[in-house]
């Protein structure tokens, strides 16, 4: 019985080895011709995220339709805006990096002052009707901006503070 088991084991091993299907590896020789790529790499059109996109024509939807900023920054107003920002906005925004919401540093290089004021004063309607605000809502994982019920004066002070962040 021990010999029969050895014989069956040898036959089984021979069967497994013989059924393995040998493939010959073919080596390619040296050639000066350029080989065609077997895989075509397609580049996706680079899309700029809504938070980085520049749109200096959109004024947004809300109470502010026109706003002229003086050349000089009003330091008193900016200081008041910094206080309002620290009390009302830092739960979701960091001045220089993405957090729950976008960073305001350099915002005036990408958005109109009217748009900024309208998103501060009217975030619900802006995220429902303004295309850029809708894209920002998607980019920031559907986290809507909370309406802090700021007065126009406080919102303007926050905007003045943003001017100091550039």
pLDDT given for residue 32 in this prediction: 65
Distance separating alpha carbons of residues 132 and 58, to the nearest angstrom = 9
Asked if 152 and 121 count as a contact pair (C-beta separation under 8 A), the reply is: yes
CB-based contacts of 132: which residues, under 8 Å, 6+ apart? 50, 53, 55, 58, 115
pLDDT given for residue 48 in this prediction: 87
pLDDT given for residue 4 in this prediction: 77
Q: Find the mean pLDDT for residues 77-96.
A: 95
Distance separating alpha carbons of residues 55 and 3, to the nearest angstrom = 86
CA angle 110-74-153, nearest 5°?
A: 80
């Amino acid at each position: 019985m021990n010999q029969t088991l050895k014989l069956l084991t040898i036959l089984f091993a021979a069967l497994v080895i013989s059924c393995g299907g040998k493939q010959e590896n073919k080596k390619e020789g040296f050639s000066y011709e350029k080989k065609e790529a077997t895989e075509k790499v397609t580049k996706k059109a680079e899309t700029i995220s809504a938070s980085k996109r520049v749109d200096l024509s959109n004024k947004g939807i809300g109470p502010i339709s026109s706003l002229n900023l003086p050349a000089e920054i009003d330091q008193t107003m900016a200081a008041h805006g910094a206080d309002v920002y620290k009390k009302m906005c830092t739960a979701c925004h960091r001045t220089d990096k993405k957090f729950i919401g976008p960073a305001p540093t350099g915002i005036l290089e990408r958005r109109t002052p009217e748009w900024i004021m309208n998103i501060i004063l009217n975030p619900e309607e802006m995220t429902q009707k303004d295309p850029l605000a809708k894209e920002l809502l998607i980019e920031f994982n559907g986290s809507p901006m909370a309406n802090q019920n700021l007065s126009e004066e406080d919102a303007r002070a926050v905007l003045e503070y943003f001017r100091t962040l550039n």
